[in-house]
Structure 1
Amino acid sequence: MRYLTSHQRIFISERATKDMNWQLKRFIEVMSEEGLLTGLRKSYQYVKLDVFKMNRALRYEVPDMFYRPLFERKYGTGIDVLDRDWDNLIVLDAYRYDYFKRHSRFEGELFRELTKGNWSLEWVLGNFRGRDLTDTVCVSGNVFYERLEPDTLFLLKSLGRDPQEITQTALRMNEKYPNKRLIVHYMTPHTPHRGQIAKDLAGPDEEFADIFQLYLNGDISKEKMRQSYVENVNIAESYVESLLEELEGKTVLTSDHGENLGEVQFGLPRVNHGHETVECRFVPWLQLPSGERKEIKKEESKGFDYSDDGVMRERLEALGYM
């Protein structure tokens, strides 16, 4: 794929296929091999007209794919979290910088940093693939760490999205492996929202409403959608607060990517993530006050303790990736 960057290929192979029909996928395949103009010229004979309808892939993902080089020329490609100094890295999924600055209860030295991707898989692979993290235990509600090689980390505890389970497991791992760095990846405030607003708006067959879909349907206001997001931010931080009470060493709070909450780009309303926007790509990097540092040691990897395929599929579907 000479004409596409590695980030663009991830869009095609991991994300865009969710919504693209086979005709559009064929068009993308030809374009990636031979360029846009050649792809258009060669594809017309087997790409039906419905490829060019303003479906989700053409309206959002393809424009984002081609806008990324311009975005990164202006802002850069993102920080490498392994080049930064920390003993504990707490990741709150889809927590954008401006909302963190405005709503977070935590105090420390706050920086606005560019992340390596606009969704979780890009961030995980961009920071950790091919690296030696045998000095690190990762406790995660995000399934995409399972895309790493099994010997990348000293240990991966891959869980569901329940923040209480993530917190309790992280505390056990912290006590069991005091000489290891610790990554704790919470899935909140990532959708689906689990606050009172989402519960009150749920339909008869739902426990929680799909807040973003309600907004896109015109059933709730932008302000109500944003209130639901803040509600989930507060839920996430309440669990982090209890975790921080037990951690030693230097702790950093950050996110893998941000979130769009109704901003307009290229004349299109943006919700969720996966877009090349400042709201998706800029995240908080909060260095908390630290005391005595950990004595970090590398050891032979214990591999993954992860969910089975059925549980993984359920988690991906719940997050909107399948």
Structure 2
Amino acid sequence: MSIRGRYNLQNALRVLKDPSLVRGETRRLRKDALRANAYVSRLLNDEERVDVMAEEWDNLVILDACRYDMFATRANFGDRVTSKLSPGSESWEFMRESFVGRELHDTVYVTSNPHAHKLPDGTFHAVVNLLDDHWNEEFRTVMPETMVERTLTAFEKYPDKRIITHFMQPHFPFIGEKGRKLGHAGIEMQLDADEHSGEPHPWNALLYGETTNRSAIIEAYVENLDVTLPHVERLVAELPGKSVVTADHGNLIGERTYPIPMRTYGHPGGLHKRELIEVPWAEIDADERRDVTAESPEVREEMTDDVIEDRLRNLGYAE
């Protein structure tokens, strides 16, 4: 629809009768601006991206939506923390660029990310998806301590394979003390029914101006990292071989985009702004490396569509 067709007297009268229409139009305009910024960011950002599967490691620990700057100041890995650029600004883009089209039959993927079901059969030797049997109904996520236990179990079962373990944190839902007080219900906002079918999404609430609780949301996000890091450190200490701790992508907390200078939150797909794709890279060397062998893929257990949709909704993803 043309601008003249959209912004006319008839529509102005509709807004006077129903002011909530302004909110929907604001969301539409911001979405259009995000798409324009994403297009420009991909054109301008041609720096080399990390190919995680080509790097040297026995264990790859992936944190979800973890900023490099926050990790570097909070993780107990000292000067072993550097940064690399992710090939994606959201989880599926990272997975698609890193895993799809490859035969990674020397690797087992332990995951709590709801996009993992999209990976083609035969990509890994085995996929251990925790979103069904190990889902925490209270917190609506897979807890970091569960990730540790199931990853160690996977290593015991597959001692001659590389292990990837994909934590959901620091991505919300918020599981720390402050985050629990805030909760999903504590993020006050009004969303159009056709744009919201599940739990509130805190970053979208900030992006679309539907909450002013910015500092509390950012504190809960940082707390999610603080709660998770001790579990990551324990896992790295117990797994034999060389480990790398990284993230699939970062998370914007109000940085302005280009060329339309709008404050942006979360991790919009295709938006390759440096603060969003710069991820931590901590290498923890070991005295001995694992002997790794490739074997034919195992048949993976599939989740039902209802479970997939529920997990995507609770973790803030739209399908």
TM-score range, shorter chain: 0.7 to 0.9
Assess if the C-alpha contact under 8 Å between 1:258 and 1:279 holds in 2. yes
Q: In the alignment, which residue of structure 2 is the partner of 1:318?
A: 314
CA–CA separation in structure 2 for the residues paired with 1:284 and 1:71? 22
C-alpha separation in 1, matches of 2:298 and 2:128: 10
CA distance in 2, matches of 1:209, 1:201: 12
Distance 1:200 1:311, change over 3 A: same
- Offset at 1:44? 5.5
Asked whether the 8 Å contact 1:87–1:251 carries over to 2, the reply is yes
Shift of the 213–114 alpha-carbon distance from structure 1 to 2, 3 Å rule, reads: closer
The equivalent position to 2:68 in structure 1, one of 97, 114, 118, is 97
- 5 Å-filtered alignment, 1:52-131, equals 53-54=25-26, 55=28, 56-60=30-34, 62-73=35-46, 75-76=47-48, 78-107=49-78, 109-131=80-102
TM-score for the superposition, normalised by structure 1 = 0.77
Contact 1:201 1:209 in 2 (8 A): no
Greater RCO between the two (CA within 8 Å, min separation 6)?
A: 2
Q: CA separation in 1, counterparts of 2:82 and 2:309?
A: 35
- Structure 2 stretches of 5 or more lacking a match? 8-23, 132-140, 188-198
Structure 2 residue identity aligned to 1:220: N
Question: Which of the numbers 255, 265, 271 marks the counterpart of 1:271?
Answer: 265
Which residue is 1:172 aligned to?
Answer: 153
1:156 is paired with a residue of what secondary structure?
strand
Q: Is the 8 A contact 2:201 2:316 kept in 1?
A: no
- The answer to whether the aligner puts 1:291 opposite 2:287 as a matched pair is yes
- What residue in structure 1 maps to residue 298 of structure 2? 302
| Distance in 2 between residues matched to 1:150 and 1:135, nearest whole Å | 15
Letter in 2 for 1:249: G
- Aligned partners of 1:307, 1:281: CA distance in 2, in Å? 30
Task: Determine if contact 1:79/1:116 at 8 Å carries over to the other structure.
Answer: yes
- TM-score normalised by length of structure 2: 0.78
SS class of match (1:245): helix
Residue 33 of structure 1 is matched in structure 2 by: none
List gaps (5 residues or longer) in structure 1. 1-42
CA 1:210–1:68 in structure 2 vs 1: closer, same or farther (change >3 Å)?
closer
2:213 aligned to which of 220, 232, 235: 220
The count of aligned residue pairs is: 273
Residue 64 of structure 1 aligns with an amino acid whose one-letter code is N
Q: What is the CA RMSD across the aligned residues, in angstroms?
A: 2.6
Superposition deviation, residue 173 in structure 1: 0.7
Q: Identity of counterpart residues, as a percentage?
A: 30
Letter matched to residue 119 of structure 1: E
Does the 8 Å CA contact 1:108/1:289 hold for their aligned counterparts? no
Which runs of 4 or more aligned residues in structure 1 lie more than 6 Å from their structure 2 counterparts after TM superposition?
203-206
Instruction: Report how far residue 57 of structure 1 moved.
Output: 2.1
